[in-house]
Amino acid sequence: MVDLLQVIFYLICIGVMCLVGNVMYESKKLLKRQQDQVERQIKKLQSDNKE
């Protein structure tokens, strides 16, 4: 009985770690996308300013 509870506990821990890793990966991807977008806007403003 204890072994079964331990296995269930470890499976839940592994699932939570996978979710946390996935959230961190997605937020990093989102931050990179936002950074690229801001850089494009800055370049556009600079080119508009030169004209």
Per-residue model confidence (pLDDT) at position 2: 80
Per-residue model confidence (pLDDT) at position 49: 80
User: Would you state the structure tokens that stand for residue 43, as one six-digit string?
Assistant: 């370049």
CA distance 49 to 41: 12
E-strand ranges in 1-51 read none
Whole-model pTM above 0.85?
A: no
Neighbours of 30 (CB within 10 A): 10
Per-residue pLDDT reduced to its tens digit, 6-36: 999 999 999 999 999 999 999 999 999 999 9
Confidence band for 42, pLDDT divided at 50, 70 and 90: very high
Residue 51, classed as helix, strand or coil, is coil
User: Would you state the structure tokens that stand for residue 30, as one six-digit string?
Assistant: 């989102």
> For residue 40, what are the CA distances in angstroms to 12, 27, 32?
42, 20, 12
Per-residue model confidence (pLDDT) at position 1: 73
